[in-house]
Amino acid sequence: MKIPALLLLCSLAACTPKRAAESSREITGTQAERIAAVSKLVTSHSPLPGPLLDANFVEEQSGDGRLGPSDFTSFCALSVAQADLPAWRAAMAPLEAQDSPPMYAAPKRPVSWWLPAAEFPRLELHSPKSLTGRANGWVGIDRDHGRIYIWSFTM
């Protein structure tokens, strides 16, 4: 009686679904190194509308790509001269229907450069597609501080 019960428990444990693997990668380094790395990511979709003064980036991956595709969520903060904000704004499209109404998002592991939830309502929001190639998410322009926040994801 013990052996069949043990076999049943083992087979149930083997069939229990495992949580998707999660990982993240952050672009670090000096200011110049971060600007170069983030510029390379953004310019793979379109040229930069203006120069960057600083840049930060973190991407979270859910799933390991083995038993189905992985999903990616990216967070990026760009610092630009306020005089360049009109060029950045002109390079972006309005939010797409699937992203309205927009919602606040933040990395799972907090980073000092990402905007707090309380500051989200003051952002001027646009589609991330022209900068990231992804249709989901938003680009938020903080006109007061010359910051551009980008949240995009796959699904």
* Short-list 59, 70, 69, 155, CA closest to 114: 59
Alpha-carbon distance of 104 to 121, in angstroms, equals 9
Residue 31 domain-assigned (yes or no): yes
Residue 80 domain-assigned (yes or no): yes
Residue 48 domain-assigned (yes or no): yes
Cβ contacts of 38 within 8 Å, gap of 6 or more: 27, 52, 55, 56, 57, 76, 78
Which pLDDT does position 12 carry in this prediction?
Answer: 42
Residue 10 domain-assigned (yes or no): no
Alpha-carbon distance of 154 to 142, in angstroms, equals 24
Task: Report the domain count for the chain.
Answer: 1
Q: Give the distance, in angstroms, between the CA of residue 132 and the centroid of all CA atoms in the same chain.
A: 9
Which pLDDT does position 105 carry in this prediction?
Answer: 97
Residue 118 domain-assigned (yes or no): yes
Query: pLDDT averaged over the chain?
Result: 85
Q: What is the pLDDT of residues 62-119, one digit of tens each?
A: 876 666 678 999 999 999 999 999 999 999 998 877 767 899 999 999 999 999 999 9
Q: What is the pLDDT of residues 112-147, one digit of tens each?
A: 999 999 999 999 999 999 888 888 999 999 999 999
Which pLDDT does position 5 carry in this prediction?
Answer: 46
Which segment of 5-9, 39-43, 101-105 scores lowest on mean pLDDT?
A: 5-9
Count Cα neighbours of 55 within 13 Å in the Cβ-side half-sphere. 20
Residue 117 domain-assigned (yes or no): yes
Confidence of residue 3 (pLDDT cuts 50, 70, 90): low
Q: Give the distance, in angstroms, between the CA of residue 71 and the centroid of all CA atoms in the same chain.
A: 11
Residue 3 domain-assigned (yes or no): no
Alpha-carbon distance of 12 to 8, in angstroms, equals 6
Which pLDDT does position 2 carry in this prediction?
Answer: 56
Which residues constitute the domain of residue 131?
19-153
Alpha-carbon distance of 25 to 15, in angstroms, equals 30
Which pLDDT does position 58 carry in this prediction?
Answer: 97
Residue 46 domain-assigned (yes or no): yes
pTM of the model: 0.81
Mean pLDDT of 17-42: 85
